[in-house]
Amino acid sequence: MSDDDLEAIRRLKYAYFRLLDLKRFDELGALLTEDCTATYGDVGGSLEGRTAIVEFLSGALSDPGIVSAHHGHHPEIERTGETTATGVWYLQDRVIVPAADLEIGGTAFYRDEYRKEGSGWRISHTGYERVFEEHRTHSTMAVRKFRSRF
């Protein structure tokens, strides 16, 4: 895999996190293949197609009273074909819902698949498996709920 391809895939995933936190869901959708799938660990089930993924993310996070921070790092990217690749990213995220006095945070591993199309590299599958997640009362930081995969 060329350095240019690796950098393009890294920038693709960085843009995914940035656009997610900025609530720019239509732009985020342009990073996905039309037939993209997603399996977000805490959603249960799979989302099929760009439209379904964008609708889900928008429905879950578009409220301006909800703020989020998604940090993806330590990418492990591997070419699987001339126009395909996979990637594993370590996620650290935080979602704050002041109206519910709630803060959700944790870590997970994203497992992505990428496909190079005429417009460049796009995400063809994305999803994560939680390592841990905690729910806290935002005003006091008291733990409400904690779960771990172990």
Domains of the chain by residue range? 3-148
pLDDT, tens digit, for every residue of 31-71?
999 999 999 876 667 999 999 999 999 999 999 999 999 99
**Predicted local confidence at residue 76, as pLDDT:** 97
Q: Note the pTM of the prediction, 2 decimals.
A: 0.94
Helix or strand or coil: residue 46?
Answer: coil
Q: How far are the Cα atoms of 11, 14, 26, 96, 143 from residue 58, in angstroms, in the given order?
A: 22, 18, 9, 16, 27
- The one-letter amino acid at 34: E
Q: Which residues, 6+ apart, have CB-to-CB distance to 22 below 8 Å?
A: none
CB atoms closer than 10 angstroms to residue 32 = 22
Q: What are phi and psi of 101, to 5 degrees?
A: 50, 50
CATH tag for 3-148 (out of 3.40.50.300, 3.40.50.1820, 3.10.450.50, 3.40.50.10800): 3.10.450.50
